[in-house]
Chain A
């Protein structure tokens, strides 16, 4: 009994020694793979997990990609990224960035230029609109993973054609409301947060104005289109076209309201489409999408809200990181992300894919709207001026100030922010 046990012990030890020493030899002989890490907001980390697996299989022994799952909300992921970047050596090679962060991160010196990795052909392959917001001061700093744009959702069962002007939207709503066919006309994002700036950008552009031009330093809030936009949003609440509660609506509240059949129109991002087609939706198969309304003679505008991949300064493996970027944003990956998760693609080719368009009819409308994409003012001070605007708009929407005063004050405060930062208008 004792001898058997002793013998088996010796055998086991020998086996372990043999296996471990051979593994050691192999690992010394083979080059260790480049470890590449990318921080992404939770939804993107989830949707790309299959792609990461495929990438790692393809590049076994050469590159190992790890996607770090960050928090859910845009601001939370920004806080996390900034906190780690401020500490110096970044723990990540890449960061999935919101379009509004690019100038700020660039100015802070955290981003590596991508000019050497993407050529003219790559840029030309992007759909119109998707090429916005990736450059700062002439260099390419971000490669888009998806395109996100503000859309006007409308009820196909209540009207034949969607409204094209602000006046039309209002009159259709009122007619439907007066006829008792729907409680509210139009739901949007009126809460004091970034979504309100996105809403406003589309309206001021639709009235033919511009919020702020970083190139010329001109602020367009206290000008007729700015005042018109402010008054129109206020008017929607005053006339009951939009519910009073819209002053605390973010995307999810607006979606909830529209989804339960409470409103004829909704301003939201492309993700809402899939939600509206689900079984619990009251408006399934009764929804169309189009661009935001615009004053006659002006082009509609769609706020660009895309996410893209940036290479962080201090990355040990820039080439491998960019290789991962290229894989994640390839046509094949985009097709997968669109069909599986509804992530709007950025490559023009996909919007022209007839087979895909047959199965996904909304892709065409999104592609058309994408052409009207407008990015928010591309300045490192964007967060400040956006917060100023949100605050003043919220004051006007909740009746604390008049729409005109709100714009005058917002213009003055914006100028002060720019001046304090040494960016005199």
Chain B
């Protein structure tokens, strides 16, 4: 009983920051609440949801957001692991090198997005000048729908790989060195050490980085807003950008709430499915490994 009392403050906190907004938005998604209703919530018999189901623009944004998240997070984890492994090596001025590797992450997103927008500017940015002189052709990195999303992914990787590397570096430091030494005595090379020792023992940290990053990438907003504004041809538009426009620019809070709740449901079920697939696959592979 006293233990339960001690839990109350944190429960209240959770309710305030998580449950209340969730309830409020769910309620709002069944109401028309927009500039046309004078910002008063009027029940509209699921009309928002009807619209949501048929919203091809949302579908496109969902696909693009998932594409952005999966590609950038995968690349960040792989690159982050490589960087963490390099930074983990003994080297001169290690503290200095480690902290300077974190600079991209320390920069505010809007500042770095502005920087990349200038670097990728067509035709005056340095990247475009380079492609013009080498390939004789403008890259048009932010004006071409098939390239612009990769450009935003690139900027995201540049910015957040250090964060992933930091988490993984912390994980690497928890692995005792004698595990590697024991394996070395048995004749294990660096690939086997990576596969059999580093990665399995780093799994909790990889999972942590994956969760943090996926959650952030699903909600990508400022990076895209500054770099492309969602264009060209809406090819870089994310769910968060669409929800934000509906709320603050269109003053359509009912539909904005529908987008947020809909995305919440879709993304949580995606994560659940992924988690189930991963755990069953892991169990199966462990069973086959044992015998």
Q: A residues within 8 Å of B by Cβ?
A: 75, 78-79, 82-83, 86, 104, 107-109, 190-193, 243-249, 253, 256-257, 380-381, 383-384, 387, 390-391, 394-395, 397-398, 400, 413, 420-423
Give bound CA distance, A247 to B141, whole Å.
11
B57 neighbours in A (Cβ, 8 Å): 391, 413
A190 neighbours in B (Cβ, 8 Å): 143
Q: A248 with B122: in contact, given A192-B232, A397-B232 (CB under 8 Å)?
A: yes
Q: Given contacts A191-B231, A398-B144, A420-B255, list 12 more A-B pairs with CB under 8 A.
A: A82-B248, A107-B36, A108-B39, A108-B251, A192-B228, A248-B228, A248-B231, A383-B249, A383-B250, A387-B250, A394-B231, A400-B235
CB-contact partner of A107 in B35, B234, B248, under 8 A:
B35
A422 neighbours in B (Cβ, 8 Å): 36
B245 neighbours in A (Cβ, 8 Å): 383, 387
Nearest A-chain residue to B234, judged by Cβ: A391
Q: A256 with B231: in contact, given A104-B35, A380-B36, A387-B245 (CB under 8 Å)?
A: no
Number of A-B contacts (CB under 8 A): 113
Q: B residues within 8 Å of A by Cβ?
A: 34-36, 38-39, 47, 51, 57, 121-124, 128, 138, 140, 142-145, 148, 228-235, 245, 248-252, 255
Q: Is the CB of B231 within 8 A of A421?
A: no
Instruction: Kindly provide the distance from the CB of A23 to the nearest chain B CB, expressed in whole angstroms.
Output: 45
Nearest B-chain residue to A104, judged by Cβ: B35
| Chain B interface helix/strand/loop/mixed | loop
Nearest B-chain residue to A81, judged by Cβ: B248
Q: A391 with B233: in contact, given A107-B36, A243-B123 (CB under 8 Å)?
A: yes
B228 neighbours in A (Cβ, 8 Å): 192, 248
Give bound CA distance, A257 to B121, whole Å.
12
B51 neighbours in A (Cβ, 8 Å): 420
| Chain A interface helix/strand/loop/mixed | helix
Q: Can you identify 5 A-B contacts, CB atoms within 8 angstroms?
A: A86-B39, A107-B38, A243-B122, A247-B140, A394-B232
Q: Is the CB of B233 within 8 A of A400?
A: yes
Give bound CA distance, A109 to B37, whole Å.
10
B138 neighbours in A (Cβ, 8 Å): 243-245
B34 neighbours in A (Cβ, 8 Å): 421
Give bound CA distance, A256 to B248, whole Å.
31
A423 neighbours in B (Cβ, 8 Å): 36
Nearest A-chain residue to B144, judged by Cβ: A398
Instruction: Kindly provide the distance from the CB of A287 to the nearest chain B CB, expressed in whole angstroms.
Output: 20
Give bound CA distance, A423 to B34, whole Å.
13
B248 neighbours in A (Cβ, 8 Å): 78-79, 82-83
A384 neighbours in B (Cβ, 8 Å): 250, 252
Q: Is the CB of A380 within 8 A of B35?
A: yes
Of all A-B residue pairs in the complex, the 6 with the closest CB atoms, nearest first, are: A192-B231, A248-B143, A245-B122, A247-B143, A395-B233, A394-B233
Instruction: Kindly provide the distance from the CB of B60 to the nearest chain A CB, expressed in whole angstroms.
Output: 10
Q: Is the CB of B251 within 8 A of A193?
A: no
Q: Is the CB of B123 within 8 A of A245?
A: yes
Q: Is the CB of B38 within 8 A of A108?
A: yes
Give bound CA distance, A390 to B148, whole Å.
17
Q: A248 with B142: in contact, given A108-B251, A253-B121 (CB under 8 Å)?
A: yes
